[in-house]
Chain A
Amino acid sequence: MSEDILLELSNVTTVYGRNKMLLDVSLQVPNGKCACLLGSNGSGKSTLIKAVMGLVKIVEGTIRFDGKDITGQRTYRAVRKGISIVPEGKRIFPKMTVLENLRMGAFTEKKQNEIQNRFEQVFEHFPRLKDRSHQIAGTLSGGEQSMLAIGRGLMSDPKMIIFDEPSLGLAPVLVQQTFEIIHRINESGVTIFLVEQNAHLSLSISDVGYFLQKGKIIAGGTTEELKASDFIQAAYFG
């Protein structure tokens, strides 16, 4: 494996009870780049993310992150190695304040001054959150909640952030803004693994992409290759 691959799945198969969900999935997320995973509802995208986070049962294959085997590892260990996630449906803690939610994002960090710096960084990205830092998160607007989820994902100063359908339920303007933010985070040096249904927008900010269908990778490559492929054109941009 070359050094500039941060996350690598090799022939991964997972199960829910007796049903296999992911079948022999292999993909690579290059270091410092943005990779996207595209696929329709129920194709297994979130399952793939959960496999990386150690939240579903892996029956075959290996997952490596930053040169280390993390297959089936406990979730908090994966987080400590530098993986952060902005989960599907945001999953903020509704009864905590904005500040406490952000603090949760840096749960594995012990140094107080480091945590303070990260609060400042997040507030630079999202000044709105600073104004609302003592508000109960469940009372934020949908757009604000999605800023909070992204801010929380930044708090651990991760090597890689996974975004699971960040555009879900957002108005078109906000979708555009969210993708711009993701792009900016990527440019600041953080590797992005973006899970989406919106192929067009996702490929516009990605370096590589994969297509998942019924638990299998059916196509993958650089953005240029994918855009040039007749098959993808027909299926996703036709």
Chain B
Amino acid sequence: MGTEAVIIQILLNGFMLGVQYALIAVGFTLFFGVLDIINFSHGDVFMLGAFVGLTLINLFTKLGWMGGGIYPLTLFMIFFFCMLITGFLGILFERFAVKPVSESPPLMSLLATLGLAIAIREAVRLFYPMGSESKRFPELLAPIFAGTSKAFEIKGVLLRYDTLLIFGIGVAVIIVVSLYINKTMIGLGIRAVAQDSEAAMMMGVNRDMVVDVTFFIGSALAGLTGILNGLFYNTVIFDMGAMAAVIGFSAAVIGGLGNIYGAIIGGFVFALTQAFSAAFIPRGSEYMDVVAFGVLIIFLVFKPSGILGEKMHERV
């Protein structure tokens, strides 16, 4: 491969992961904005998304819907139902683990979400068939291109068709969510609660409803990302959420906790740092996380409010 191809490969990998990190980080930043909490169970909702996706795929395979004329609809249903299910689970988790401790010190909600994270993880390990083993995640666009090759080529770089799915859906969803937050009344309500929740209530915002919507959106995004991650690595496992939570949270902090655009930028910064250090540092793939978290620490020391955030300043 020429250098150009290498660079393209790195950028593609970086962006592919960046979309995923961004989607997870948006949830962290929304929960923090609206409820002032760090929700550590978020990574495990992402893992649940992957397993819900896998279960749906298995179900549709049994029904014989994974091919033929119905296939585009099947694809849509996989993503749609996965987001719906994880979204509602998110609301449920909020009521079960976050609301009961909302009057207690912040440390309590941190512990509650951490406990919930472990409960979700263990539940999948114990109750999913052969839950402690990693599962193969099938390619989704392969049936459409059956007969032709599984990949296509840009400037000497081989790309799987599922790459298109990861990038297309990821970017589309990011755009839809930021439009929703910025252009709709519920979005306005979410931003109002994030800036001054009591004042928002005085204007007639139903805060409980805003919290529900926020948890639905954040969790549905994480669930969707679970599928995208399955497509990216072709494998899923019950403890994949732990690292995802740490990275998603780091991305949100790098971008500026509480700021949606910040979370998106933070996701890409983190992923590109990983991708470039994997490529250019000797034995880089072993050190890429060290470098990426090093970048996080640099931000924590020199710009703790993140790239776009202001909220941390107000707090200190």
Contacts and interface: CB of A to CB of B under 8 A. Distances in A.
B203 A95 contact: no
Interface string A97-140: 00010011101100000000000000000000000000000000
Contacts of A92: 199
Contacts of A53: 201-202
Would you call the interface of chain A mostly helix, strand, loop, or mixed?
A: loop
B234 interface: no
Contacts of B204: 75-76, 79-80, 107-108, 156
A68 to B, nearest CB: 16
B191 interface: yes
Contacts of A87: 199, 202
B191 A95 contact: yes
Contacts of B203: 79, 104-105, 107, 152, 156
Interface in A60-88: 74-76, 79-80, 85, 87
A200 interface: no
A199 interface: no
B192 interface: yes
B200 to A, nearest CB: 7
Interface in A205-236: none
Most A CB within 10 A of own CB, among B195, B198, B204, B207: B204
A104 B201 contact: no
A106 B240 CA distance: 44
Nearest to A100: B188
Nearest to A74: B206
B43 interface: no
Nearest to B189: A107
A20 interface: no
Contacts of A108: 204
A93 interface: yes
Nearest to B185: A107
Contacts of B199: 87, 91-93
A107 B195 contact: no
B188 A91 contact: no
Interface residues of B, number: 17
Interface in B174-192: 185, 188-189, 191-192
A96 interface: yes
Nearest to A96: B191
Contact of B200 (A74, A95, A103, A104): A104
B54 to A, nearest CB: 40
Contacts of B192: 93, 96, 104, 107
Given A55-B198, A91-B196, A107 B191 contact: no
B205 interface: yes
A142 interface: no
A143 interface: no
Contacts of B205: 76, 104, 107
Contacts of B206: 74, 76
Contacts of B185: 107
A169 interface: no
Contacts of B201: 53, 55, 75-76
Contacts of B189: 107
Given A91-B196, A93-B196, A75 B191 contact: no
A93 B198 contact: no
Contacts of B188: 96, 100, 103-104, 107
Contacts of A85: 202
A79 B189 CA distance: 15
Contacts of A79: 202-204
A161 to B, nearest CB: 12
Contacts of A76: 201, 204-206
A85 B192 CA distance: 16
A122 to B, nearest CB: 14
A98 to B, nearest CB: 14
Nearest to A95: B195
Interface string B44-82: 000000000000000000000000000000000000000
Contact of B195 (A75, A96, A105, A156): A96
Given A55-B198, A75-B202, A93-B196, 14 more contacts: A53-B202, A74-B206, A75-B204, A79-B204, A85-B202, A92-B199, A96-B188, A96-B195, A103-B188, A104-B188, A104-B200, A104-B205, A107-B192, A152-B203
Interface of A: 53, 55, 74-76, 79-80, 85, 87, 91-96, 100, 103-105, 107-108, 152, 156
18 contacts: A74-B206, A75-B201, A75-B207, A76-B201, A76-B206, A79-B204, A80-B204, A93-B191, A93-B192, A93-B195, A93-B196, A93-B199, A96-B192, A100-B188, A107-B189, A107-B204, A156-B203, A156-B204
Interface of B: 185, 188-189, 191-192, 195-196, 198-207
3 residue pairs, one from A and one from B, having the closest CB atoms: A79-B204, A91-B199, A108-B204
